[in-house]
Amino acid sequence: MSLETAALGGMNILERYIFKRSAVAFLMTLAAMTGVVWATQALRQLDLVTSKGQTIVQFIGITMLALPFLLVIVAPFALMIALILVLNALSGDSELIVIDATGGSRFLVLKPILMFATVILAFSATMSLYAAPLGLGQLREEITRVRADLVANIVQPGRFITVEDGLTFHIRNRSGNGTLDGLLLHDTRDPETAFTYQADQGNIVETFDRTLLVMQNGTIQRKPKGRNDISIVRFQSYAFDLSNLIPEASEPTYKASERSTLALLNPAPGDEYAARYPDRLRDELHQRFSQPLYCLAFALIVFAFLGKARTTRQGRGFAVLGAIIACIALRTAGFGITAIAGGTLGWLVFLYIVPLAGMGIAIWSILSDHRGATPRWVESIQHWAFMINERLLSRFNSRRTGGAS
């Protein structure tokens, strides 16, 4: 039984209605935001296509490994937007007013929102503690493999590729069956003689644990260094050994974000990275446990601003702006703590204090508002948002008036 099914089992009709609307809005928002963020991050690995000879399918498959990590970052903001849409719609359709007029408590609306936020928190925690580091670790392995792929480095039509000092490849085209057309190989590694190989066609083959470039119908030009005489030998088939050019398989060095949670808790003996950067491992570990808390914090903050029935559109607009500002400010504070923590335990505690403080202030606001008076901090943010809106509108109107005249 899924978490959503289990959550819906103990709800009444109203709570199911709010839960389902929140789920639909969240999934749509999460898909849109994740797609945009993934596209921007994928561009960083675009060299896998442009310079390493990978296909677009391989490129998409490799960059999709970072998707769980992106979900951890995007999920709280997608939840914030989804709850804003749902609560604003409930207020705009007078559903919150009806609930309040019939004597219903605000907690009838808060309960399904908290249950949904808890489901998203569990999802975000799973991504943060397990799926994200697993995906990033596999991404590191794939990037290391691609960058060490000799064939991918050589087979780049129309470009002169220097595989190592003194050895340059060039091919005109690569056919669908892997045949290299118009092949040129210039080798100046020998201290006394320079060799230039030209062939109509060539193939890279693996045989007897060796990697060979088998060329057909070509010539070998041999030129002693420091002299002008050149000797040319024609051949029908010639094999050039590439085995010594293949780098030895090496284990990639995993960064802190690319290691499993268990590896962060108990680094392997002799791990040079863990011994050199213990503070990075400590920071990453606490970030994984603290990041999911923002899901619950954002849900409470949004409800503190929008959970009350409002009769004017302007009031709802300021409440929406206030909720967005408060959530972004809270998450920015979390990012700031991460940047300055530096592995110091005293600072790392604030990774938990920041979201918990956001929850506490939001709960206090909800309880105070439930007793009647709107909290001052909510009124201050709304007043600030109102002043910014008025200034922007006045500047826009003045420019419009000036342009018209």
Q: Where are the domains of the chain?
A: 3-147+257-394, 156-245
Lowest mean pLDDT among 144-148, 235-239, 300-304: 144-148
Lowest mean pLDDT among 66-75, 101-110, 273-282, 371-380: 371-380
- Between residues 270 and 70, the one the model is more confident about: 70
Q: What is the pLDDT of residue 230?
A: 86
371 pLDDT higher than 60: no
**Alpha-carbon distance 25 to 82, whole Å?**
5
H/E stretch holding 154 reads helix 150-154
3 pLDDT higher than 50: no
Q: What is the pLDDT of residue 78?
A: 95
DSSP 86-111: HHHHHHHTTHHHHHHHTT--THHHHH
Please say whether the beta carbons of 96 and 108 come within 8 A.
no
Angle at 234 between CA 229 and CA 237, to 5 degrees: 140
Q: What is the pLDDT of residue 20?
A: 92
Contacts (Cβ under 8 Å, ≥6 apart) of 373: none
- Between residues 254 and 351, the one the model is more confident about: 351
Work out whether strand 167-174 and strand 180-187 pair parallel, antiparallel, or are unpaired. Answer: antiparallel
Of 372, 277, 375, 399, whose CA–CA distance to 326 is shortest? 375
**How many Cβ atoms are within 10 Å of 124's Cβ, its own excluded?**
24
Q: What is the pLDDT of residue 101?
A: 66
For the record, the structure tokens of 31 come out as: 């898909």
- Between residues 5 and 32, the one the model is more confident about: 32
Q: What is the pLDDT of residue 379?
A: 58
218 pLDDT higher than 90: yes
- Between residues 43 and 9, the one the model is more confident about: 43
Write out pLDDT tens, residues 119-168. Answer: 999 999 999 999 999 998 888 887 777 665 656 566 677 788 777 788 88
DSSP reduced 3-state for 181 = strand
E strands within 226-277? 231-241
Contacts (Cβ under 8 Å, ≥6 apart) of 275: 267
Contacts (Cβ under 8 Å, ≥6 apart) of 108: 14, 15, 99
Please say whether the beta carbons of 289 and 353 come within 8 A.
no
Write out pLDDT tens, residues 73-129. Answer: 999 999 999 999 998 888 777 777 777 666 666 778 888 999 999 999 999 999 999
Write out pLDDT tens, residues 380-401. Answer: 655 666 666 666 667 666 665 6
H/E stretch holding 387 reads helix 376-404
314 pLDDT higher than 60: no
Q: What is the pLDDT of residue 1?
A: 43
Q: What is the pLDDT of residue 307?
A: 81
DSSP reduced 3-state for 267 = coil
Q: What is the pLDDT of residue 26?
A: 95
DSSP 210-256: EEEEEEEEEEEEEEETT----EEEEEEEEEEE-GGGSPPP------G
Mean predicted confidence (pLDDT) in 337-348: 79
pTM: 0.69
Work out whether strand 231-241 and strand 180-187 pair parallel, antiparallel, or are unpaired. Answer: unpaired
Task: Supply the angle between the helices 293-306 and 313-341 in degrees, to the nearest 10.
Answer: 160
Please say whether the beta carbons of 271 and 70 come within 8 A.
no
Contacts (Cβ under 8 Å, ≥6 apart) of 297: 76, 327, 330, 355, 356, 358, 359, 362
- Between residues 139 and 52, the one the model is more confident about: 139
Q: What is the pLDDT of residue 88?
A: 86
Q: What is the phi/psi pair of residue 196, to 5°?
A: -125, 120
The upper half-sphere exposure of residue 399, i.e. CA atoms within 13 Å in the direction of its Cβ, equals 6
Angle at 77 between CA 76 and CA 78, to 5 degrees: 90
